[in-house]
Chains A and B, each alone.
Chain A
């Protein structure tokens, strides 16, 4: 069993805002071992990005309140001081973000920014740091790294910028790489390249990866375990096989159904999930997905607990629907067309 790096126990994140208290993350738990890839999937507002940023301590502020534990190699990252947290960032936990154009400082060269990352944690002189930077750029697949290291971000293409960001995030050999929607702002062909790159580097650097996205298709290759989030809660969790072949939540069906597929007959329209995500301030009672779920019934007014109902070990869900019923109806949803209640 690989070394357990991260243990998140019932993490809660709340923000005080002008309109009320936003429950951005409402109880998420998971474990991460070295070499493993967890995919966190959900719509905008599901809490996936807040979870990731909380792991890095980037959500700390006057208006944030945390509950639960985030144990990194035994240390609870929620409890340590800002100064101590700073030592973990970049060093043990590396993060890349969605838009590489705005995530890099436009007035400094790419090389300078990576060198800065290295020297933030390691006592090396500039020349050594620069040499390492060039090597990192080579590793992430940037051609002519010796000259491109002195380019400015606006002189790189989108895909190359993201590669540079990955190089920067991995520069201090962190044990965990957190990727927050790294491919969303890129072209589809580049997306595949970046995902492959992350997969390969994970092995080269012997790290674990938390990959956040709204698109299940993107992590189909790379994820070992998938967590589906909705309205701040985990609504389904399981291995890649579980989620793709035996999904238990109607929400997950919706996500799967909205992936365009080449191997199925072409349909009139991609499946869409009707309605909009609920307010995180005034959450509806019972199952949060109920207002949008075409299969909701009486019992759904009572909030389901995250349980293993389906029997496969490690596969948890929050749905009262009968397992057999689910298996019978979900193919209609996933293979496309609009949803009708059975």
Chain B
């Protein structure tokens, strides 16, 4: 076949599609945004490592009963203020006794007592591995049980607030009018209180005697109290941004199209609006879990969250305040656990956000 075509018969009737099929990889391929996001996340080793750390912390805390029965042999609230432990054949009091020494010249040297024993790091078997607290309880056991409580409160509160906020945001933004007004005022009302003050207000008044209204009965020491308080307090922090997003989406053409096809309100909210706010929800959720845990710690530290004798990382920090100089471990250890947990959540949350909404993070490839 000559290469300079002059007659009509030499022109093949290749259509665009046949040629494209031959070309193979020369088209621009589209991939779903979720696939792209998952791929980006997979490549982000740092984020995945920290997710792993967080999961590790959760697993370890869930294994608290195992630690209690096999390692420390006590329960989290078992007190042992007057007891002794054996180490290298010697008996050491768990809470130190004060000593007084009379010097030859008539002065007296006093060492104060009441100092709990510090971390033994295994010197006495598994007992008091991390030391004891002011009334002889095993810190290690309480650390894990407390962790369980703190994580439970944090995660549950975050879940509740996310679900409630999504509902409220969808209803407010979709239906508009009166429902929007009421829900927005509701957000404004919660927003008007400083977070921590509202938390302690609710925490204190609910911990006096529990909540016994409207047929719901929650006892005063229940973990539900801090959980629900934290969930309540964070509602506008998720609700408002989501409402804004749904408002923006609501007027887009695809919603109009769905309505024109006869889709009902519920269906539109579930199938059109919800998937489009999903990535925001995911990112906000990780942020809220981190903040919920920190808030629980703050409230419990102040005495308005998890109540004694239930352990929580927050109450443990408070317990250790007074003996900071002599036994810093009491406050140090729960703080380390909290920081590790929250950092992991934040790093993973960052990675998640980058995966879902990258901003030209390119590799240099030459």
Contacts and interface: CB of A to CB of B under 8 A. Distances in A.
A148 interface: no
Given A322-B4, A322-B6, A296 B26 contact: no
B362 interface: yes
Kindly name the residue among A18, A62, A279 whose own CB sees the greatest number of chain B CB atoms within 10 A. A18
Contacts of B27: 276, 278-279
Contact of B11 (A17, A20, A275, A341): A341
Given A278-B27, A342-B11, A65 B366 contact: yes
Interface size class on chain B is 20 to 34
A283 interface: yes
Interface in A317-338: 320-322, 325
A296 B14 contact: yes
A284 B28 CA distance: 11
B261 interface: no
Interface in B1-50: 1, 3-6, 8, 10-16, 19-20, 23, 25-29
A284 B19 CA distance: 10
B26 A21 contact: no
Contacts of A325: 5-6
Interface in A242-289: 274-279, 282-285
Contacts of A298: 1, 3, 5, 10, 12
B8 A275 contact: no
A16 to B, nearest CB: 4
Contacts of A18: 358, 361-363
Contacts of B189: none
A274 B8 contact: no
Contact of A16 (B5, B23, B26, B362): B362
B358 to A, nearest CB: 8
Interface string A109-135: 000000000000000000000000000
A293 B19 CA distance: 10
A299 interface: yes
Contacts of A16: 362-366
Contacts of B361: 18
Given A283-B26, A341-B13, A296 B19 contact: yes
A65 B364 CA distance: 10
Given A295-B11, A297-B10, A342-B8, A279 B28 contact: yes
A299 B4 CA distance: 8
How would you classify the secondary structure of chain A's contact residues: helix, strand, loop or mixed?
loop
A290 interface: yes
Contacts of B364: 16, 62-63
B16 A275 contact: yes
A151 B237 CA distance: 37
Kindly name the residue among B19, B20, B361 whose own CB sees the greatest number of chain A CB atoms within 10 A. B19
A141 interface: no
Contacts of B19: 290-291, 296
A138 interface: no
Contact of A291 (B4, B16, B29): B16
A285 B261 CA distance: 44
Contacts of A63: 362, 364
A278 B28 contact: yes
A37 to B, nearest CB: 33
Contacts of B29: 279
A292 interface: yes
Contacts of A285: 23
B337 to A, nearest CB: 37
Contacts of A296: 12, 14, 19
Given A278-B27, A297-B5, A322-B5, A17 B362 contact: yes
Contacts of B15: 294
Contacts of A290: 19
Nearest to A292: B16
A322 B15 CA distance: 19
A18 B14 CA distance: 34
Contacts of A293: 16
B361 to A, nearest CB: 8
Kindly name the residue among B15, B20, B25, B26 whose own CB sees the greatest number of chain A CB atoms within 10 A. B26
A261 B188 CA distance: 57
A300 to B, nearest CB: 9
15 contacts: A15-B362, A16-B362, A18-B363, A21-B365, A62-B362, A63-B362, A274-B16, A278-B28, A283-B26, A285-B23, A291-B23, A294-B15, A297-B10, A298-B1, A298-B5
Given A298-B1, A341-B13, 14 more contacts: A16-B365, A20-B365, A21-B365, A62-B364, A279-B25, A279-B28, A290-B19, A291-B20, A294-B16, A297-B5, A298-B5, A322-B6, A341-B11, A342-B8
Interface of A: 15-18, 20-21, 62-63, 65, 274-279, 282-285, 290-299, 320-322, 325, 341-342
Ranked nearest first, the 7 interchain pairs of A and B with the lowest CB-CB distance are: A284-B26, A16-B365, A299-B3, A282-B25, A291-B19, A279-B28, A284-B23
